[in-house]
């Protein structure tokens, strides 16, 4: 029979962690869900329960649909191209090459730079008059491509997407590199002996064995993209107009205006959206891993 001290020993580690989880995650989540059904704001001393009024306002205002569209467009393009570039870099750096460690470090450095700093850097790069990008285009004789990247509604969201692809591709690269290191070399050698070319080896050997790495990268990129905030805030602040408004800038804008109950309702909708999309893709990608 186990002594009381043996039984209590694990609780010494479990209880503090559980208390911190309840305090920092469960309590804010539950209280936030409650306040989304109230008129909680900076303009009233009392908090009244108003039912689904905040959600009704959200779904009847065009700005929510605009933010959903922009968030989903951003997530789709960032997820696709971050994984394409990350996989391409990993395949390139997996080969023996001079300065391989230097290139890995160089490609990964953008990941560790804070999104706010990246936003300020690219604000300078995209500047219509003094930005490096437009100066380069003009010096190359491509004046017609030198546009106002952040204040023209035709290019603003595209510019934000390109910024995030540059910042996040290195993270995907590291995960794909780890997956490539786990592929047995004798399988690749056997494929070469059987006459398989580079594309055939990639399609039939490498990519199927990278399924776990692809699942991790895809899900992390989707979730991170749907939560985009700092980069958009610094580069465009949701503008021009609402052309680059995303879910988190909508939430931030209403919190800063004191519409706390309304903003909390928008945050809860974002939580549901991320959860549904993540679970949907997780089921598909897990099934793909099993089938392979």
- Note the pLDDT of residue 241: 87
SS (H, E, C) 181-234: HCCCHHHHHHHHHCCCCHHHHHHHHHHHHCHHHHHHHHHHHHHHHHCCCHHHHH
Q: Tell me, yes or no, whether 97 lies in a domain.
A: yes
The neighbour count for residue 280, using CB atoms within 10 Å, is: 11
CA atoms in the 13 A half-sphere facing the CB of 102: 3
3-state secondary structure of 38: strand
Q: Tell me, yes or no, whether 270 lies in a domain.
A: yes
- Distance between CA atoms of residues 66 and 253, nearest Å: 14
Give the pLDDT of the chain (292 residues) as one tens digit per residue: 455 666 676 777 788 888 898 888 888 888 989 999 999 998 888 889 999 999 999 989 888 899 999 999 999 999 999 999 999 999 999 887 778 888 899 999 999 999 999 999 999 999 998 899 999 999 999 888 899 999 999 999 999 999 999 999 999 999 999 999 888 888 877 888 877 788 888 888 888 889 999 999 999 999 999 999 999 999 999 988 899 999 999 999 999 999 999 999 999 999 999 999 999 999 998 887 766 6
CATH code where residue 143 lies: 1.10.3720.10
Contact between residue 37 and residue 54 where contact means Cβ atoms under 8 Å apart: yes
Q: Tell me, yes or no, whether 199 lies in a domain.
A: yes
- Note the pLDDT of residue 2: 53
290 Cβ neighbours under 8 A, 6+ residues apart? none
3-state secondary structure of 49: strand
Phi and psi torsions of 142, nearest 5°: -105, 50
Q: Tell me, yes or no, whether 49 lies in a domain.
A: no
Count of domains observed in the chain: 1
Q: Tell me, yes or no, whether 2 lies in a domain.
A: no
Closest CA to 94 of 194, 209, 221: 209
> Could you tell me the residue range of the domain that residue 150 belongs to?
62-291
Q: Tell me, yes or no, whether 17 lies in a domain.
A: no
- Note the pLDDT of residue 292: 63
Whether this prediction's pTM lies above 0.95 is answered by no
Q: Tell me, yes or no, whether 66 lies in a domain.
A: yes
- Note the pLDDT of residue 288: 77
Q: Tell me, yes or no, whether 48 lies in a domain.
A: no
- Note the pLDDT of residue 186: 84
């Amino acid at each position: 029979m186990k002594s009381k001290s043996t039984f209590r020993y694990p609780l010494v580690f479990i209880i503090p962690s559980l208390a911190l989880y309840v305090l920092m995650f469960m309590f804010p989540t539950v209280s936030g869900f409650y306040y989304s059904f109230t008129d909680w704001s900076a303009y009233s001393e009392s908090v009244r329960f108003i039912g689904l009024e905040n959600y009704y306002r959200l779904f009847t205002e065009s700005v929510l649909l605009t933010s959903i569209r922009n968030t989903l467009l951003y997530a789709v393009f960032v997820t696709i191209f971050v994984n394409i570039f990350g996989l391409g870099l990993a395949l390139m750096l997996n080969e023996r090459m001079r300065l391989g460690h230097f290139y890995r470090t160089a490609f990964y450095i953008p990941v560790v730079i804070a999104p706010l700093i990246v936003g300020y850097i690219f604000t300078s790069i995209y500047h219509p008059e003094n930005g490096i990008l437009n100066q380069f285009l003009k010096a190359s004789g491509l004046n017609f491509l030198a546009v106002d990247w952040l204040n023209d509604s035709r290019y603003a969201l595209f510019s934000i997407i390109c910024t995030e692809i540059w910042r996040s591709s290195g993270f995907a690269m590291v995960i794909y590199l780890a997956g490539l290191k786990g592929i047995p070399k004798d399988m690749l050698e056997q494929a070469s002996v059987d006459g398989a070319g580079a594309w055939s080896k990639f399609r039939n050997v490498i990519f199927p064995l990278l399924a776990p790495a692809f699942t991790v990268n895809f899900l992390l990129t989707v979730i991170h993209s749907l939560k985009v905030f700092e980069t958009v805030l610094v580069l465009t602040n949701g503008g021009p107009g609402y052309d680059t408004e995303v879910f988190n800038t909508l939430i931030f804008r209403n919190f800063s205006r004191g519409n706390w109950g309304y903003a909390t309702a928008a945050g809860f909708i974002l939580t549901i959206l991320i959860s549904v999309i993540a679970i949907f893709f997780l089921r598909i990608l897990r099934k793909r891993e099993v089938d392979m």
